[in-house]
Amino acid sequence: MGDAFSLIVPQPDQNQAQAPAVQRVKVVALFDSGTELDRKMAICNLPLAAELMHYGDAVQGVRLRVKNLFEANRIAYEILNQLSDGFFVRDWTRSHGNLYEAVRMSRSLIVILMLIIIAVAAFNVVSML
């Protein structure tokens, strides 16, 4: 943390021969999820992102945080149904599918292990009686 590096962002308009935007930024925090996200994702504030992409005061997308991460797919499509045509949604289960599968498998595995432990404990109690 505290190191500076050059962030190079390609310009969104591929038809014109423009040099990519280069900005010197400082690392203020690190997030280690232990997944593929660590190699692909950098988070910066909105004014810097708008400057690098030449958006001005406009935004290109909105990211929402939900309390129950497994409800993200349902919530995203409920929002999409309320918007007019021309919008699309993408929830984290689509963009980071292998992470989603790992979390879902871990949940299932924990449930199975707990059931086995309870069954063994119940068998021991019955056999002792």
What confidence tens digit (pLDDT) does each residue in 66-111 have?
Answer: 888 788 888 988 988 888 888 888 887 777 777 777 878 898 999 9
Question: Per mean pLDDT, which range of 11-20, 29-38, 84-93, 115-124 is the poorest?
Answer: 11-20
Average pLDDT score, the chain? 83
Please, which pLDDT band fits residue 13 given cuts at 50, 70 and 90?
low
Distance CA 5, CA 25 (A): 6
| Summary count for the chain: helices (H), strands (E) | 5, 2
Structure token pair of residue 118: 């309870």
Please, which pLDDT band fits residue 113 given cuts at 50, 70 and 90?
very high
The backbone torsions φ and ψ at residue 22, rounded to the nearest 5 degrees and listed phi first, read -125, 130
Element (H, E) at 104: helix 97-128
